[in-house]
């Protein structure tokens, strides 16, 4: 009886709750930390109210993400003060950016660990560790070297049919609005063989879709002295047994090689989808952003992509209200979007971030104007999206089935290859062929019967 009580007490003390904020790259960090903890005997729970230690992995990219991170930390601190949790750990980008300020402002936090201290998660979750004395790697230290590999344990936080693979860490781009290089360090690629081995492991676990992520995926392998490494990696992964789709996110417009596009065109499992944040189309604004190019060069790029990969979906993001953006600059961006007719578009208003070159630029745009411009751009894109979707009514599409719809218990949902999870629309499925019950991860044929602004509606057919 006494031994049973001791085992129960030990098990309760080892329960860790994780809250992961921000992008998929941050989610991979959380999965790696959870994997290390589980391998060391800790129990991982998705319910923070049931945890003895709560870990908040933060985002510090823009103002809205920072506010969400702060609010989440404060909520976790309330759980600690009023519930069963006895330890609160804060990790991630916000720590790298404001570690000294956070230490002073949040004494209720037991430990802060930066983006290059993932391996310290075991020591800071140990109740016997003096966690607040743990040193942090200096902010913006370009000697940061942390990279996980295929031997690193992970606990997937995504649905069982897809998983993210981080192929590189850090960034060397000089974009004026971005603080990521200071938070994540210099660009560094994982070994080719390590990524291939991890992909095989994920396939053996039942994963059907691999999503490759990095701060700048198109530069993969350059620092290792490899030419067109992303194309070679994508082709190799597309031959992984058990994997149905391989998707690449976060490519940069100046590094879209013909070799990479050829893989997208030739390999059936390399999805015909290009995620390429352009940020703007006006030469004036792109120069201020330290990105270069102009509307004409970007239009030539999109034309080359579509010619080389017929049927490809192109997704991009833009920023409205960047310092120095005039009415004429915005009208040029609006005309560019209407002319190119992107398949997917995300629009963000500029966030004035201290420590970035853009923070010191003159001619700030009023937030109200930035929001108005964003609304106009999204309205224009919505018309394009609706028209493109209506053109698909009557087609039968190959769809990755995902299960119950997030919108209604009466519907299922899935995605075609030109839709990435969470950021794009989906296929709402109303019915299936008689006697057929699909499972998440199954590839099914769906006849499209209706079209919405961003989603399609259909039924599964034989």
For the chain, the structural domain boundaries read 2-133, 162-390, 396-461
Confidence at 141, pLDDT banded by 50, 70, 90: very low
* Weakest mean pLDDT among 137-146, 297-306, 408-417: 137-146
Task: Indicate if the pLDDT at residue 23 is higher than 50.
Answer: yes
Confidence at 129, pLDDT banded by 50, 70, 90: low
Confidence at 241, pLDDT banded by 50, 70, 90: very high
What are the φ/ψ torsions at residue 407 (nearest 5 degrees)?
-90, -30
| 162-390: CATH architecture | Alpha-Beta Horseshoe (3.80)
* Mean pLDDT calculated for residue range 123-136: 67
Task: Indicate if the pLDDT at residue 137 is higher than 50.
Answer: no
- pLDDT number for residue 183: 87
Task: Indicate if the pLDDT at residue 376 is higher than 90.
Answer: yes
What's the full length of the chain, in residues? 462
Q: What average pLDDT is seen over the chain?
A: 90
Q: What is the pLDDT of residues 66-93, one digit of tens each?
A: 999 999 999 988 888 777 778 899 999 9
- pLDDT number for residue 13: 57
| 396-461: CATH architecture | Beta Barrel (2.40)
Confidence at 320, pLDDT banded by 50, 70, 90: very high
Per the CB < 8 A criterion, the answer to whether 53 and 83 are in contact is no
* Mean pLDDT calculated for residue range 111-123: 90
Q: At what angle do helices 258-266 and 295-308 cross, to 10 degrees?
A: 40
First to last CA, the chain: 58
- pLDDT number for residue 207: 96
Q: What is the pLDDT of residues 32-52, one digit of tens each?
A: 999 999 999 999 988 888 889
Q: 129 or 80, which is more confident?
A: 80
CA 254, CA 167: separation in Å to the nearest integer? 19
CA 83, CA 391: separation in Å to the nearest integer? 54
- pLDDT number for residue 4: 41
Share of the chain above pLDDT 70, in %: 93
Q: Which fold has domain 2-133?
A: Rossmann fold (3.40.50)
């Amino acid at each position: 009886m006494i031994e049973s009580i001791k085992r129960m007490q030990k098990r309760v003390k080892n329960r860790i709750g994780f809250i992961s904020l921000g992008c998929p790259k941050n989610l991979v960090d959380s999965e790696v930390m959870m994997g290390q903890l589980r391998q060391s005997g800790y129990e991982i729970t998705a319910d923070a109210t049931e945890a003895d230690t709560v870990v908040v992995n933060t985002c510090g990219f823009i103002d809205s993400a920072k506010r969400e991170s702060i609010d989440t930390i404060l909520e976790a601190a309330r759980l600690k003060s009023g519930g069963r949790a006895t330890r609160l750990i804060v990790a991630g980008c916000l720590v790298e950016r404001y570690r000294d300020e956070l230490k002073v402002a949040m004494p209720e936090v037991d430990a802060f660990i930066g983006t290059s201290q993932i391996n310290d998660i075991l020591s800071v979750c140990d109740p016997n560790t003096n966690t607040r004395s743990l040193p942090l790697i200096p902010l913006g230290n370009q000697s940061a070297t942390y990279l996980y590999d295929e031997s690193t344990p992970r606990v997937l936080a995504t649905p069982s049919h897809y998983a993210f693979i981080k192929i590189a860490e850090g960034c060397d781009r000089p974009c004026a609005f971005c603080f990521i290089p200071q938070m994540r360090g210099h660009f560094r690629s994982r070994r080719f063989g390590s990524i291939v081995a991890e992909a095989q492991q994920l396939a053996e676990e039942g994963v059907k879709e691999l999503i490759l992520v990095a701060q700048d995926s198109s530069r993969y392998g350059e620092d290792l002295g490899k030419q067109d490494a992303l194309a070679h990696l994508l082709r190799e992964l597309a031959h992984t047994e058990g994997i149905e789709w391989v998707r690449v996110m976060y490519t940069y417009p100046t590094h879209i090689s013909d070799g990479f596009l050829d893989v997208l065109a030739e390999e059936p499992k390399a999805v015909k989808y290009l995620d390429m944040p352009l940020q703007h189309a006006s030469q004036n604004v792109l120069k201020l952003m330290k990105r270069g190019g102009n509307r004409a060069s970007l239009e030539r790029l999109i034309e080359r992509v579509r010619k080389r990969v017929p049927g490809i979906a192109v997704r991009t993001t833009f920023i409205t209200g960047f310092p120095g953006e005039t009415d004429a600059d915005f009208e040029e961006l609006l005309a560019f979007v209407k002319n190119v007719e992107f398949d997917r578009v995300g629009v963000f208003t500029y966030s004035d971030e201290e420590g970035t070159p853009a923070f010191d630029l003159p001619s700030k745009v009023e937030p109200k104007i930035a929001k108005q411009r964003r609304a106009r751009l999204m309205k224009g894109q919505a018309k394009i999206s609706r028209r493109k979707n209506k053109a698909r009514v009557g087609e039968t599409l190959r769809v990755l089935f995902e299960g119950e719809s997030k919108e209604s218990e009466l519907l299922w949902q899935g995605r075609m290859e030109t839709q990435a999870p969470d950021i794009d629309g989906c296929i709402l499925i109303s019915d299936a062929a008689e006697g057929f019950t699909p499972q998440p991860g199954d590839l099914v044929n769906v006849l499209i019967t209706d079209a919405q602004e961003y989603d399609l509606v259909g039924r599964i057919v034989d």
